[in-house]
Amino acid sequence: MPSTVSANPLHLVAVTGGTHGNEMSGVCLVKHWLRDSSELVRDTFTAVPLLANPKATENCVRYYERDLNRCFTMDILSSPELQDEPYEVKRAREINRLFGLRGSTNAFDMILDLHNTTSNMGVCLIISEAQRHLEMHVCHHIQKHLPNYNPRIYLYAEPGVELYDLCSVSKYGIGFELGPQPQGVVRADTLQTMRTLVQVTLDFINQLNQGKEFPAFEADVYQRVGHVDFPRAPDGEISAVVHPSLQDRDFSPLHPGEPAFLSLDGKMIPYNGDQQIYPVFINEAAYYEKKIAFIVAEKIRLSIPALCTTGGQGSP
């Protein structure tokens, strides 16, 4: 690995909310910035707000016909438009055109996509994979500047699976996932935290564009490796709920044999994996229909090279 990687200056940044229409921090902030975008202004680049899924936002639901944040595959983006396609499939293509076409040199430089979760995830910074050095620097910058939030870095890409989320349209992308916040509710504290994350990120980009170098560092990340469904009755209904001793303990280690679920007739059901894991997105409302009670992650220590704007060695 090179000791320093370099990036071209970032010119176009999008800040997107309402990708899921009932995740209200981003919905409220983006609606505010669409009226007054002054706090997104920086010297060296343009940042634009976008309400990603207006129809879901209007109805205060995660999605109208299909989860928008699973629609940005090259297959969908490159297909001709059909009349009776789901709203979100059409909207994904529209956003792809707005943001300069995924994978092209015209693509936006960065998307900051604003999300909430009902899980006790605190401040979670989501990027696709460890090789995303520029995004890793953004996350590290946030961790250094906002230590009281205890921001965690979560890597979601699955080996061999094409990226399908909104952030994959731009050259770089980060999701801010804040919780716990119920769907359809905006909490002032969560809103303010989200706003601060965006400010600190825009400041980082500005400093990078101005030629500042960011030194190498080591960081812990949580790498998605799988998920666990709820125990279910033969008819498919949930037969157990997340155990009280696991609820709200996102990012804490869970060992084989420790309580994972509590059945409706009162029995403790242990985690039956074969090694220690770090559960995340524990009891997220939107994942019931996806048959996910929690995501299984591993904690990994990464070494990230220094970062500068073009002129250094390598590329991020």
Q: Which residues bind its own copies (CB under 8 A)?
A: 28-29, 31-32, 35-36, 60, 118, 180-189, 191-192, 233, 237-238, 241-244, 247, 262, 264-265, 283-286, 288-289
Query: Exposure pattern of 127-137 as b/e (b: 16+ CB <10 Å)?
Result: bbebebbbbbb
On whether the CB atoms of residues 184 and 24 are closer than 8 A, the answer is yes
H or E stretch covering 227: strand 217-228
Nearer to its own copies, 32 or 70 (CB): 32
Q: How far apart are CA 158 and CA 172, in angstroms?
A: 18
On whether the CB atoms of residues 295 and 281 are closer than 8 A, the answer is yes
Nearer to its own copies, 268 or 300 (CB): 268
Nearer to its own copies, 200 or 285 (CB): 285
Nearest distance in Å: CB 36, its own copies? 7
Nearest distance in Å: CB 254, its own copies? 15
| Residue 163 Cα distances to 24, 127, 173, angstroms | 24, 11, 11
Nearer to its own copies, 39 or 213 (CB): 39
Nearest distance in Å: CB 32, its own copies? 4
Nearest distance in Å: CB 191, its own copies? 6
Query: Which residue's entry shows tokens 């002054």?
Result: 38
Nearest distance in Å: CB 266, its own copies? 9
Nearer to its own copies, 38 or 275 (CB): 38
Nearest distance in Å: CB 288, its own copies? 6
Parallel, antiparallel or unpaired: strands 110-116 and 12-17? parallel
Nearest distance in Å: CB 33, its own copies? 9
Query: Exposure pattern of 54-86 as b/e (b: 16+ CB <10 Å)?
Result: ebbbeeeebbbebbbbebbbeebbeeeeeeebb
Task: Assign 3-class secondary structure to 45-91.
Answer: CEEEEEECCHHHHHHCCCCCCCCHHHCCCHHHHHCCCCCCCCHHHHH
Nearer to its own copies, 244 or 257 (CB): 244
Nearer to its own copies, 1 or 185 (CB): 185
